[in-house]
Amino acid sequence: MSSGPSVSEFAPSSQAFAPADDQEATPSVVATFLFARLNQFAACCQAMSAEEAASFVNEVRRMLTDAVTSLGGEIAQRRPDSILAVFTDDGESKKPDHAQRALHAAVVAVHESVLLAKKVSARLATADVPPLSLAVGVHLGAGQVSRRANSSTGMVRARGEAVEVARLLETTATDLHWSVATSAPTSLAAAGRTQKGRIGSLGLPDDSFIDIVEIVGLVPGRGSKTPPETFDALRDALAVNQRSQRAVGSAIARDYAAIHTGGHFLVEGYRVLRKIGEGAMASIFLADNGIGGPPLVLKVMRLDKAVEADGLQRFIQEFALLAQVNHPNVARIFSQDFSVGHAYIAMEYFPCGDLRARLEKPLDSATALDYLKQAAAGLAAIHAVGIVHRDLKPENMMLRRDGSLALADFGVAKQVSMLITDTGNGDIVGTPYYLSPEQALGQAVDARCDIYSLGVMAYEMLAGQKPYRARSVRELLNMHIHAPVPRLPSPHERLQPVLARMMAKKHDCRYPSAQALLDDLQATAP
């Protein structure tokens, strides 16, 4: 096998750890941990004779070990198909270089694995074996590192949170079809000596996040004597390895599915900033795309939860519906994707929240009329492509900094929840205050049910209270079906004809379309 590109640019530092039988007493050190796994290792072994398999195992061990030790790393764990390594400094260096060396070792290991994969592919040309690929995770952090007592192997013990993150980054590399995945701080500590590719965020079981970076090559140092062709070869190897990962990605993903439904998730192309909400089916996170621009929202659903109540279908529907519409009064949606164990949607972020926050007191006529016009325009846009919102309410009317309003949250089933929650103070929340009579009766609905719901909100904006209040869901539904349209306060009497037509009990008596409503509102003086 080739010895790989020159490693002379990253001089290894000496290692000095005291033996420690009591792992709990081992002090933490800041180090860089590398975990690498060769995918399709078992399949290749099964396709070989016993003699060939033994030789193959030795080749893999030598490949992974040499990549680590040639850059000054030490082996903490070695399995036939994987390796855990530790890179530290001697404490005397002004600029610790263990992150540089660990990432360099990761790239060299991928280069060597590609050479090995070519040999194995030629050896097993007649066998139906998926291509070998290497996935590497690298993370700088605090961990417990000590010499193994009573051992002549020279290996060390390594454990701690940083070790587990490195392992998780390896599975992340596998899931995203990256060759090398590292945490953003580790990449930063490499002092510009690595070439970065895509970005992402990895959510951990404790609800914290780390930004992750794909390593796609090495960058020559100042005064480097390494030929440019060496760096080209490394970049090419990372790309070849990535293509091999994609070829068997779905099979590998299934192997790790159990891991990724255990409380964490990953997304590619976005940096998660913080969690901003939690629903019954999805978690909401503030994020950015790493290349500038305004923040956005990631709506993330665990697939094991999505099985319940057709959750995944509704989640996909939300993207499919919104993707058809490009209108300033409809929330913008950017992308939908899946990772192992999760589905997520990237959509517009509304820093000013929803309309509910504005309804603590009545709105003036001009503001209420402006919101009604914008909502009607948004409804006209979605109705034009055959979408009926079915769950229009203040919580789904989002506000931008410029004062514009946008309809949001289209991922609902046709049946609207009618659960009731008593606060203990006589207030009833969570009831279907905005349901149309036909929804209350369980009848088929069309776009005119959204017009009724908007009428309920129109009354609430102008009067400062909901049009119908009741002690039970049954009573409230009955009021939607039979109670007369309430009268607006005297300052807003001129809008009573509009409200009466929006909230007509018979849908045939309402505005025939949101555009017709908008036309009427446009003709109404503020």
- Residue 151 has what pLDDT? 56
pLDDT tens-digit map of 499-513: 999 999 999 999 999
User: Between residues 312 and 27, which one has the greater pLDDT?
Assistant: 27
Going by the DSSP 8-state scheme, the letter that residue 409 receives in this structure is -
List residues bridging with 183 in a β-sheet: 212
Q: What is the mean pLDDT of residues 235-249?
A: 86
Is the predicted pLDDT of residue 434 greater than 80, yes or no? yes
pLDDT at 299: 84
| Rounded Cα gap, residues 434 and 294, in angstroms | 32
Give Cα separations from 521 to 9, 81, 174, 429 (angstroms): 72, 69, 55, 30
DSSP-derived secondary structure letter, 77: E
pLDDT-based confidence at residue 344 (cuts at 50, 70, 90): confident
User: What mean pLDDT is predicted for residues 452-478?
Assistant: 92
The CA–CA distances, whole Å, from 123 to 168, 206, 257, 305 equal 32, 46, 31, 45
The residues, any chain, with a CB within 8 Å of residue 405's CB and separated by 6 or more, are: 329, 355, 371, 374, 375, 378, 397, 398, 399
pLDDT band (50, 70, 90) for residue 264 = low
Position 150 scores a pLDDT of 58
pLDDT, tens digit, 9 for 90 and up, residues 480-497: 999 999 999 988 989 999
Please give the pLDDT value at position 411: 53
Catalytic residue numbers read 391
Residue 89, Cβ density class (10 Å: 0-12 exposed, 13-18 middle, ≥19 buried): buried
Position 425 pLDDT exceeds 90: no
Poorest-pLDDT segment among 13-27, 57-71, 81-95, 404-418:
13-27
What's the pLDDT score for residue 154?
A: 67
d(CA 225, CA 93): 23
**pLDDT above 90 coverage of the chain, percent:** 44
Percent of the chain with pLDDT strictly greater than 70 = 80
Tell me the three state secondary structure of residue 488: coil
Name the residue with higher pLDDT: 129 or 367: 367
Model pLDDT, residue 112 = 96
Map residue 120 onto helix, strand or coil: helix
**pLDDT for the residue 412:** 44
Above 70 in pLDDT, residue 258?
no
Residue 305: the pLDDT is: 59
What number is the average pLDDT over the span 445-472?
Answer: 92
Can you give the pLDDT at residue 270? Answer: 82
Nearest to 76 by CA among 167, 140, 161, 148: 148
pLDDT value for 174 = 87
Cβ–Cβ < 8 Å for 460, 359: yes
pLDDT in tens, 177-192: 899 999 999 999 998 8
Q: What is the mean pLDDT of residues 79-96?
A: 83
Asked whether residue 133 carries a pLDDT value surpassing 90, the answer given is yes
For residues 31 and 101, give the distance between their C-alpha atoms in angstroms, rounded to a whole number: 11
Closest CA to 342 of 392, 309, 313, 301: 301
Mean of the pLDDT values across residues 132-157?
83
What digits encode the pLDDT tens for the residues 316-339? 766 777 777 899 999 988 888 876
Average pLDDT taken over every residue of the chain: 82
pLDDT at 43: 86
For range 257-271, the mean pLDDT:
58
pLDDT digits (tens, 9 = 90+) for 96-114: 899 999 999 999 999 999 9
Is residue 241 over pLDDT 70?
Answer: yes
**What's the mean pLDDT in 221-248?**
89
Compute the distance between CA of residue 64 and CA of residue 82 in angstroms, rounded to an integer: 8
In the prediction, which pLDDT does 30 show? 92
Check residue 273 and give its pLDDT. 82
Query: What domains appear along the chain, each with residue ranges and CATH number?
Result: 23-268 (3.30.70.1230), 271-348 (3.30.200.20), 355-522 (1.10.510.10)
Q: What is the pLDDT of residue 269?
A: 81
**Tokens found for residue 441:** 């009766």
* pLDDT score of 114: 95
* Opening angle at CA 177, ends 172 and 180, nearest 5: 65
Q: How far apart are CA 224 and CA 71, in angstroms?
A: 17
Question: Is residue 51 pLDDT above 70, yes or no?
Answer: yes
What pLDDT is recorded for position 35?
Answer: 96
Given pLDDT bands bounded at 50, 70 and 90, which one contains residue 24?
low
Q: Is 293 exposed, middle or buried (0-12, 13-18, 19+ CB in 10 A)?
A: exposed
